[in-house]
Structures are given as structure tokens and as C-alpha cells.
């Protein structure tokens, strides 16, 4: 929702005004303050209420992380299979 508000604010600006608008919002202090507030809200919403949701968040995060880690290996494997198919088709065409 914050991103939607940011986009709606930027939409009415001229292009040369955008860097001046974004620079103070992307300062280290502002980013740190926003992340601290987000962590506090998360703790209030899930941890303090003894909700099982954080466990699910960890599981889903680990699943996404393992998928991203294995993605290059899978892509290499699929490319190798495609190359073998091309070579097999080329060899079959020569016979």
C-alpha cells in the first residue's frame, strides 16, 4: 500500500523533480526507521499473538530460497537435454 501511495505521488511530478523527492526517502536513516517500524508491526501482529504464521513464513521463504538456488542448475540441465535432442535429431537426419 505504501508503494501505491508513493507511485500516486510521483505520478503528478515532472521527471526532473522525482530524484529530489526520492533522495530524502531513501536515506539510510529513513530506511532504518521504516524497517524498524515494519519489524515492530510484524512482532505485534504475529509474535505477540502466538500465531503459527511466522512458521509458515519461514517455510515458504526457505522453499523460495531453495528454488532460486537450484534454478541455475536446472536451467543448465534443461539446456543440456535440448542440446542432446538437437544432436540426436541432426544425427538421425544424416542416416
By residue range, what is the domain housing residue 56? 51-94
Which of 8, 40, 35, 10 is CA-nearest to residue 23?
10
Averaged pLDDT, groups of 10, the chain, 95 residues long:
83 91 90 95 94 96 97 95 86 64
| Strands (E) located in 2-60 | none
The pTM assigned to this predicted structure is 0.58
Q: Quote the pLDDT of residue 26.
A: 87
80 inside domain:
yes
70 inside domain:
yes
Q: Quote the pLDDT of residue 89.
A: 72
Domain count, the chain: 2
Q: Quote the pLDDT of residue 94.
A: 61
C-alpha grid cell for residue 78?
A: 534443461
Based on the fold, state whether residues 57 and 26 are members of the same structural domain.
no
Based on the fold, state whether residues 73 and 45 are members of the same structural domain.
no
Amino acid at each position: 500500500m505504501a508503494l501505491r501511495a508513493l507511485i500516486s505521488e510521483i505520478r503528478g511530478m515532472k521527471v526532473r523533480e522525482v530524484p529530489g523527492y526520492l533522495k530524502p526517502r531513501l536515506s539510510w536513516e529513513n530506511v532504518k526507521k521504516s524497517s524498524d517500524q515494519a519489524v515492530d508491526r510484524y512482532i505485534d501482529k504475529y509474535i505477540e499473538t502466538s500465531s503459527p504464521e511466522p512458521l509458515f513464513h519461514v517455510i515458504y521463504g526457505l522453499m523460495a530460497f531453495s528454488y532460486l538456488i537450484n534454478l541455475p542448475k536446472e536451467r543448465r540441465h534443461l539446456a543440456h537435454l535440448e542440446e542432446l535432442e538437437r544432436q540426436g535429431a541432426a544425427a538421425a537426419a544424416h542416416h
